[in-house]
């Protein structure tokens, strides 16, 4: 069983912001595997599907970004998900816009949502797919600002690449091979 989580903020006003890139990644993943977000559980909106016979739960926490780990922890406990079968997708201002960086462990860095995930799970050994958004000026204003059409055109192929990497991982491909194939600069 796999748990795939996108980080973001639930309100409509955040829909087209950099901080909701994680939500966009799991939306694209759902499109690829023909899953629908149709269930509310563990303070998240979830979709359930199967890939190569394995159950896959896809989640968008509704706890707001900085408390995302609380929802993820509840889902991990409820479904007894091994941490190695959890992937968290999120925006990363420390990477240039349009980069995709997949890692198997690390701190939350400058990302408060991922810091909360690491804190709640009590481990840095969490697979993460970081989509570069770059940054300009005040970080809080930047991540919550509406994304320009030009930046969306740069981000969309990376979001699609992230969804393909998730599909590969949930199909049983070892994460090291997924990293080698999909890490993009």
Quick check: helix, strand or coil at residue 8? coil
The residue range of the domain holding 15 is 2-182
Quick check: helix, strand or coil at residue 100? strand
Paired tokens of 123: 């481990």
Calpha distance 99→131 (Å, rounded): 6
Number of separate domains in the chain: 1
The pLDDT tens digits for 15-44 are 999 999 999 999 999 999 999 999 999 999
Mean pLDDT of the chain: 96
Choose among 80, 73, 57, 44: nearest CA to 2. 57
Identify the pLDDT of residue 185.
61
**Which whole-number Å values give the CA distances from 129 to 52, 85, 137, 165, in the listed order?**
21, 13, 24, 9
DSSP 8-class letter at 92:
E
Region for residue 109 given its phi and psi (left: phi exceeds 0; alpha: psi -120 to 50; beta: otherwise): left
Catalytic residue chosen out of the listed positions 19, 48, 119, 135: 19
- Based on the residue annotation, tell me whether 135 is a catalytic residue of this protein: no
Give backbone dihedrals phi and psi of 106, rounded to 5 degrees, phi first.
Answer: 145, 170
Choose among 134, 162, 131: nearest CA to 148. 134
Give backbone dihedrals phi and psi of 9, rounded to 5 degrees, phi first.
Answer: -120, 140
Could you tell me the CATH number of the domain that includes residue 169? 3.40.50.1470
58's enclosing H/E stretch is strand 54-61
Q: What is the pLDDT along the chain (185 residues), one digit of tens a residue?
A: 999 999 999 999 999 999 999 999 999 999 999 999 999 999 999 999 999 999 999 999 999 999 999 999 999 999 999 999 999 999 999 999 999 999 999 999 889 999 999 999 999 999 999 999 998 778 888 999 899 999 999 999 999 999 999 999 999 999 999 999 999 76
The pLDDT tens digits for 144-167 are 989 999 999 999 999 999 999 999
Q: What is the pTM of this model?
A: 0.96
């Amino acid at each position: 069983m796999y748990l795939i989580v996108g980080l973001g903020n639930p309100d409509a006003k955040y829909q087209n912001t950099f901080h909701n890139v994680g939500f966009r990644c799991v939306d694209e993943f759902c499109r690829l595997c023909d899953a629908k977000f149709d269930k509310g559980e563990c303070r998240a909106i979830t979709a359930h599907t199967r890939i190569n016979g394995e159950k896959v739960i896809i989640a968008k926490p509704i706890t707001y970004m900085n408390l995302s780990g609380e929802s993820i922890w509840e889902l991990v406990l409820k479904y007894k998900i091994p941490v190695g079968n959890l992937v968290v997708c999120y925006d990363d201002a420390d990477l240039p816009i349009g980069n995709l960086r997949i890692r198997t462990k690390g701190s939350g860095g400058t990302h408060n949502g991922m810091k909360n995930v690491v804190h709640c799970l009590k481990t840095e050994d969490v697979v993460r797919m970081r989509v570069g958004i770059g940054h300009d000026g005040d970080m809080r204003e930047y991540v919550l600002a509406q994304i320009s059409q030009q930046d969306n055109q740069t981000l969309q192929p990376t979001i699609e690449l992230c969804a393909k990497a998730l599909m590969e991982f949930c199909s049983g491909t070892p994460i090291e091979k997924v990293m080698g194939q999909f890490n993009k600069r």
